[in-house]
Amino acid sequence: MIFRKANIKQHTMNLSQKLGFDKTTKLLMIHADDAGLSHSENRATIKSLTQGIVNSYSMMVPCPWFYEMAVFAKNNPQYDNGIHLTLTCEWESYKFGPVLPLAEVPSLVNEAGYFFKSREELKENATAEDIKKELKAQIEKAYAFGLKPTHIDSHMYSVGISAEVMDIYRRLGEEYDLPILINKEIMNMSGLDPLINIEEDDLVIDKVHYGLFMHFENGLLQEYYSNVLDELDAGLNMILIHPAYDDDEMKGITINHPNYGSEWRQLDLESFTSKENEERLQKNNIQLITWSEIKSLRG
């Protein structure tokens, strides 16, 4: 079903009004990806939630430090937490793979038994059947731990490698009655045309803001975030960040990968625990909103 751009905007405004806000309200979710990736990532995510303005995060179930963050989630249900569905591992020297036995999802891993580094490699090798099995297993593992996820999203938006995989993602949201992250810019970035891959009933985030390498490279990343808060449009918005500490652990994980590297992630942490940006929310009449509030519409 074709879902035209004008319909996407109208759908977003209807959602805002259903939540009890005027259509001119600036709604914002500040979301931290990659919890569970490392101890450093977990510490920074927890700080950004408890001492900053981040109000949502999602966990990478296959990663070694998932357990630590899952315990935090169980003990702190007041914070939105989602499942960051994971099918790729982009790091040079830090590796992880499926939660299922490799024999059950052989198309998802390289010769060493780890996830592929890129969406392109995943698309080249993975079968839809293996993807569906692994994504469902990640969700089931989170529930088996006792988690109550508020939403589902996707690491590196790997669910956008094909229309078939996007449909698997969508159906998993329906099966578990969880909202999924869909946004036309992110979908387009992953290689899918949003005009033919966004369906009429999809819950669409109007605008997702995230730093680009040019911002980081030119020393403008924190300025970019401040400008987003100062210039936010009405509708349903999201800022995607990846907080962590620029410590030895994250330097080791992100070696030779300055894009979303440890220095970048430290800047994300500092930006969204700063009093200046907290004050910008009030100054610019920004209303924070959570996946839990959005999920309530699906009842």
Asked whether the predicted pLDDT for residue 261 surpasses 80, the reply is yes
- When pLDDT is averaged across residues 50-65 and rounded to a whole number, the result is 98
Asked whether the predicted pLDDT for residue 20 surpasses 80, the reply is no
- When pLDDT is averaged across residues 85-108 and rounded to a whole number, the result is 98
Asked whether the predicted pLDDT for residue 15 surpasses 90, the reply is no
Summary mean pLDDT of the chain = 93
Asked whether the predicted pLDDT for residue 7 surpasses 50, the reply is no
Collect all residues with Cβ–Cβ distance below 8 Å to 9 and sequence separation of at least 6: 206, 235
Tell me the per-residue pLDDT of 169-211, one tens digit each, with 9 for 90 and over.
Answer: 999 999 999 999 999 999 999 999 999 999 988 999 999 999 9
Residue written as tokens 């969700």? 139
- Rounded to 5 degrees, what are φ and ψ at 278? -60, -40
Work out the percent of the chain whose per-residue pLDDT is above 70. Answer: 94
Tell me the per-residue pLDDT of 206-250, one tens digit each, with 9 for 90 and over.
Answer: 999 999 999 999 999 999 999 999 999 999 999 999 999 999 999
SS (H, E, C) 249-292: HHHHHCCCCCCCCHHHHHHHHHHCCCHHHHHHHHHCCEEECCHH
Binned at pLDDT 50, 70 and 90, residue 22 comes out as: confident
Tell me the per-residue pLDDT of 127-150, one tens digit each, with 9 for 90 and over.
Answer: 999 999 999 999 999 999 999 999
The per-residue pLDDT for 201 is 87
Burial of 218 (0-12, 13-18, 19+ CB in 10 A): exposed
User: Beta strand 152-154 with 80-85: parallel, antiparallel or unpaired?
Assistant: parallel
Three-class DSSP category at 185: helix
The per-residue pLDDT for 4 is 32
Q: Which domains does the chain have, with CATH numbers?
A: 5-298 (3.20.20.370)
The per-residue pLDDT for 297 is 62
pTM of the model: 0.93
Least confident of 13-22, 137-146, 229-238, 256-265: 13-22
